[in-house]
Amino acid sequence: MSVTITKPDASEYDPYYGNYIASVPAGDLFELLESQGEETYALLSGLPEDRGGFRYAPGKWSIKDLVQHLSDSERVFAYRALRFGRGDETPLASFDQDPYAAAARAERWPLAQLATELRDIRRATLALARSFDGAELLRSGVASGARMSVRALFWVIAGHEQHHLRVLRERYLASPAEAVRQG
């Protein structure tokens, strides 16, 4: 079955997610999610392990923390899509990223392992997205006190990763020394 995940209407998500969705370029969302996942993996797996603990400012996440946050967030958004897509109307709790980041203790893991995990999560997200038909993509549920459609969740996944990749490039990897290391 070939289904496209068209851009959601603003009524399908909380305004908080509007910037994420607006940042996703027009086109085939499946292709974007797939290529984005591979590009993110290439970028992260190309970083030396000693960069994993780098924080661009005191109190900010390390690169490893950021990668773990991407994994955790994608899992949460995909879980919401699964629940809503299968018709579960039980309201879901909010997701507070900071306690998750603290509890994950991402510094325990090699950066390459975190990058591989994120790539594998994206592959699972794509498999889930492909399991829905057009009607299921339009189903919605409540999470964090706001209604959200299944298709909006997949657009948020793409936009959320784009946002954090931009932050990674601008704030973590933009130093002249890192630019030389990255070639």
pLDDT in tens, 46-82: 999 999 999 999 999 999 999 999 999 999 999 999 9
Question: Taken in order 21, 24, 160, 72, is the CA torsion positive or negative?
Answer: positive
Domain 10-182 in this protein, CATH class: mainly alpha
Amino acid at 137: L
Model pTM score = 0.93
Residues in Cβ contact with 159 at an 8 Å cutoff, skipping those fewer than 6 apart? 17, 19, 20, 21, 22, 23, 24
Q: What is the pLDDT of residue 183?
A: 34
Exposure string of 100-114, with b = 16+ CB inside 10 Å and e = fewer, is bbeebebeebebbeb
Q: What is the pLDDT of residue 174?
A: 87
Q: What is the pLDDT of residue 21?
A: 98
Exposure string of 162-171, with b = 16+ CB inside 10 Å and e = fewer, is bebbeebeee
Residues of the chain with pLDDT under 70: 1, 175-183
